[in-house]
Structures are given as structure tokens and as C-alpha cells.
Amino acid sequence: MHLGAALLQSGRHGSRMKMLLHDQYEREGAHGGQCRDCGRRWQSARMPGRRRAAERPVNGQQKRNNDHERREEMSKGEDMMMPRRPTLFFDAFDPLDPNGNITIKWDVISWTADGYVAVVTMYNFQQYRHIQAPGWTLGWTWAKKEVIWSMMGAQTTEQGDCSKFKANIPHCCKKDPIVVDLLPGTPYNQQIANCCKGGVISSWGQDSQSAVSSFQVSVGQSGTTNKTVKVPRNFTLRTPGPGYTCGPAKVGKPTKFITQDGRRVTQAMMTWNVTCMYSQFLAQKTPTCCVSLSSFYNNTIVPCPTCTCGCQNNGTQRANCVDPNAPHLASVVSDHSNGKGSLSPLVQCTNHMCPIRIHWHVKLNYKEYWRVKITITNFNYRMNYSEWNLVVQHPNFDNLTKIFSFNYKSLTPYGSLNDTAMLWGVKFYNDFLSQAGPLGNVQSELLLRKDLSSFTFEKGWAFPHRVYFNGDNCVMPPPDAYPYLPNATSRRTAASLLSLLLITFFFACF
């Protein structure tokens, strides 16, 4: 059946028709020009009444007008069907956390003489990507000439030019304010709920209670009704570096609040939401972690690929590389840390030059179980990782029996498929990964029950498919470098060599 006619019969027009015809254009038109009439199909399906009117008998002038109108519609339709560059939201898609995002909710809770008071709340709905110190930085652009009279639970980094105000001086007069969280220990009269954590926000999978951050803002010169208030534009979120792309603010249903005694429900005057998505490509151009492999059945230790995160002979990288055997290591690290750009990694000189290395060791093989040891090593002299987490994808995680000294949570973004595990440290024991040095590592062991229908040590099956550290994808060694299982071929080769030696010895004796 014709694609447009089928959708018309089902009563589904509009954006879905456009999307399907766009897909057909990419399949056919982009590979041979077989969908030249996609624009006509779209316009005909969207406006069936106009198509039927054009089919009626008309005079010459009407026919020329209709032909001209049809050509314009076709050209517009073809423009709509042209392939478009994927948006940053598509670039930010994470297959292990397809619904992960940071949602910023802006609730107007009361009106003032020249504006409103709002509570701004950030929800980190990402399963395993948290915001660590020095914390988040939120920015936006005012739609009109708004000012910030006061704030609780946060502050702007700059006040801006407030010289036109004589009596009451606003907290911030900038057109594009930048807001940061207050530090722990802030006086109580400057706090609100879920504030003052230095900008640190846990991931939703790790600790949903701590995956929220809030502040209160009093806005002036903004309008005092739902019709006169304009939502801010151009939201930006840094954590503290780049990586997040925020969409436009969208007005939604007003948020409802329950009082502490649970006996009354209040409602915001106005609410709008902003969704921010993460892209590792935007955050950094080079990887931040790598994976090495080993096993009990092979003496080979497969290291991280060379120059995974940089090379030692790179002139720009050499300044950020420290020899761990340097005689005065502490002073060398201190000298580097006093320079500019102290947030950039200062790593040990290694073949991979990555701040983090994850080592996966297949340790033991039992009759019904097998054991794996995981070691996370920090090579960064400038960073202590608090509330770190590790995400590993392996088909045998549905039979995980016991894990030692790590917390565990199963991630099942696709229903019953249970092949992804989230691991993180035990609070006050190993949830803090110290900087590079003797204490800069954490480790644990996993005991997994064998699924006889799929278990094997052959072809690298015992090694993970994918590894994430703090939400960033780690570089795996190439599959052909994995420790291989000694097979029958190698045993036959050894037997052949032994037979050849015996025959040679026999003829030498006689």
C-alpha cells in the first residue's frame, strides 16, 4: 500500500508522516534518487482536500496557477525531506542509560511587587553519571531586563553593573548570570532544602536522595503574571567542564507541593522545565580511562592500548606527565599544581597516559562458578574521586552470585536483558579513590555462576564488552590481543615436535 495512503487511513498525519517520508528519502533518494516525489507525497497526504480540488476540471488560467502552486509545494516538501545533521541530543544518546538526563525545574512560588520568587531544582536522572567537585555551574540569558534581587542556597559569580540602582542594590544585574552552589557549612538562614553541597550531585542509581540540588531566587523587573513573565533562554550547564547541552525552557503543568505535615497541597504559580543531555565527545576529545586484561589460563597481561589518552613524546602532553620514580615526587607534583589549568589531569608517565585504568583479571575457575578480580587504579595526581562508580557490561551478570567490598546494582534499560552491572564503593570504606600513589587504587572480586548453555573461556568471552568509569566510556584492547585459551592446536603442535625429537633420537642411536 502507498505509504502516505496507509497513514491517512490510520488517521496519523503530521510529524509522523514527515518522519517516515524522511526515512524513505534517506533510504532511496540519498542512494540513487529513487524518491523524487517525496515532497509531493508529503503535501498530498497532509492536504488531501487541496489535492482533490486540483483534480477537478479547471480553465487554463486556473490550471497555470495550480501548476505554479503545486511546484512551490513540491519544492517546500523536498526541502523538508532533505537529510539534516543530527542534533546534539542524538549525539548524546547513551545505550546503557537511554533515559538519562538532568532536568532543571523552575517553579514560581509567589509574586512580588515587580517580579516573582522561584525555587530552581536540578534532578540528576542519570543512572551512573554524577557531578563531582568543584560542582555544577548553571547559566542562562534573561528574556527582558530582569535582575536578581536576592538568592538562597546559591550565588552568582558576578554582580554586574548595578549603578542605576540607588537604594536597594540587586544581587546580580547581568543579562547572562552564572550561578554556583554554596559550600557546606553555609549559615542556616542562607540555606534551603537540597542546597549547599558545593555543587556535588550524586547519580540517580547510586543515591537518588542526593541526586537533587536546589536554590531560591527572587527576580525583579520581570512581570507579575503568567502572561507577562518570559522564560529565560540559552541555558548552559557545566560540571565543571563542558559536556552538557540544554534544550529550551518549556512551560508545563504547575508543580504541586505537600506540606511537612502532609495535610495540605500547594501549587506553583508557574512552572517551566529544561532538559540537559551529556555527550562525552563534547566533554573531552580524548578518552579518560582504559582497560587492561589478564587471566589465570594465560601468562600474557594485555595492557591498555599505547597512547590511549596521550603520548609521552607529545610536546603538549609532556608537561602533564610525572615520573613516579622521581626523587622529589611531592615537590614536582606541587610545582605542577601551582600552575594554571590545575583542573587538567597530571598523570604518571605510562604507555597509555590515562588518568584511570581498570584491570579485569579472570582469577579462578570452579566446577559451577568462576571468579573475577577488578582493580581500579588512579594515575592522576590532581584528582581524588569521591563517590566513583564503574559500569560493566558482560553477558554473565545475570548469574552474579556474590560481590566483595563493592556495592552492586543491576541496570536493565531494556527490560529483561540483565547484562550490565553498576559497581561503586562502600561508604567510609572504599568510596573514595585517592590520587595517584600507593593508596590510589580500589579492588574487589566477583563470583559468578556458570550458565552451561553459554559459558566458555574461548574467544575472549570471559572479558567485558564495555566498561564505563564515572559515566565515561573506557577504551578496551583490540579483541585479537585478548588472552587466548590454550587450545588443541597448540597441544597437537607440541606432540608433533615431541614425536619428531624421538624419531631423530632413534635414528641417531642406530
Does residue 85 belong to any structural domain of this protein?
no
Does residue 114 belong to any structural domain of this protein?
yes
Does residue 354 belong to any structural domain of this protein?
yes
User: CB of 171 within 8 A of CB of 182?
Assistant: no
pLDDT score recorded for residue 369: 94
Asked if residue 293 and residue 226 are part of one domain, the reply reads no
Asked if residue 299 and residue 253 are part of one domain, the reply reads no
User: CB of 458 within 8 A of CB of 385?
Assistant: no
Asked if residue 371 and residue 272 are part of one domain, the reply reads no
Instruction: Mark residue 219 as left, alpha or beta (left: phi above 0; alpha: psi -120 to 50; beta: remaining).
Output: beta
Query: φ and ψ at 311, to 5 degrees?
Result: -125, 145
Which residue stretches of the chain have pLDDT < 70?
A: 1-92, 313-320, 327-343, 487-510
pLDDT score recorded for residue 153: 96
Q: What is the DSSP string of 438-507?
A: TT-EEEEEEEEE--TTT--SGGGTTS-SEEEETTEEPBPPPGGGSPPPP-HHHHHHHHHHHHHHHHHHHH
Grid look-up 547513551 returns 94
pLDDT score recorded for residue 408: 93
The per-residue pLDDT for range 371-382, each reduced to its tens digit, is 999 999 999 988
Asked if residue 268 and residue 155 are part of one domain, the reply reads yes
pLDDT score recorded for residue 414: 78
Bond into 479 cis (ω within 30): no
Does residue 110 belong to any structural domain of this protein?
yes
Does residue 132 belong to any structural domain of this protein?
yes
pLDDT score recorded for residue 238: 94
pLDDT score recorded for residue 501: 59
With 0.85 as the threshold, say if the pTM is over it: no
The per-residue pLDDT for range 215-247, each reduced to its tens digit, is 999 999 999 999 999 999 999 999 988 889 999
User: CB of 198 within 8 A of CB of 181?
Assistant: yes
Q: What's the structural domain count of the chain?
A: 2
What's the rounded Cα separation, in Å, for the pair 258 and 128?
A: 29
pLDDT score recorded for residue 90: 46
pLDDT score recorded for residue 37: 40
What's the rounded Cα separation, in Å, for the pair 133 and 111?
A: 34
**CATH for 421:** 2.60.40.290
Does residue 408 belong to any structural domain of this protein?
yes
Asked if residue 173 and residue 131 are part of one domain, the reply reads yes
The domain of 117 spans: 101-278
Residues contacting residue 329 through CB under 8 Å, at least 6 positions apart? 322, 323
pLDDT score recorded for residue 227: 93
Asked if residue 430 and residue 360 are part of one domain, the reply reads yes
pLDDT score recorded for residue 251: 95
pLDDT score recorded for residue 96: 86
Asked if residue 264 and residue 360 are part of one domain, the reply reads no
